[in-house]
Copies of this chain bind each other. A is one copy, B any other.
Amino acid sequence: MLLRLDHIGIAVQSVNDALGFFETALGMKLDHIALEEGGRTAVAFLPIGDAEVELVEPKDTDSGLAKFLAKRGEGIHHLCFEVDDIHAMLAQLKAHGAQLIDETPRVNASGMQYAFIHPKSAHGALIELYQKPNQP
């Protein structure tokens, strides 16, 4: 089951440049900047209510994010829902014929499980699902 909209990822060429708009002009608060995906992505975390905007900058040239930027330019890249049971959700999606980028969840450094649905199945939207580490 989907629990909440967790974040929106915006693909940018440079996190620092983009903060000139999102932090300075729009007045969002920067929580922190981190290297994710084993150093392949720089992410600026900008909390808003109980959700977040994430500015994502590729640090490589061959990731999906780098290819998105090369092909479409900067812009909204993905949205992420928190789910209560990511395995059940992936099984439900497969049962309905949805194409998944991750058939089984990936796990990040803090134990969070996440997986992406292919935009082909989601009307062009890249959708991430994630489950908090402390849930079953």
The chain A residues found within 8 Å of chain B, CB to CB, are 1-5, 8, 10-12, 17-18, 21-22, 24-28, 48-51, 53, 55, 72-76, 78-79, 81, 89, 92-93, 96-98, 119, 121-127
Contact = CB atoms under 8 A, between A and B. Distances in A.
B26 A2 contact: yes
Contacts of A28: 2
Assembly of this chain: how many copies? 2
B124 A74 contact: yes
A8 B11 contact: no
A33 B17 CA distance: 39
A93 B26 contact: yes
Contact of A49 (B3, B27, B55, B96): B3
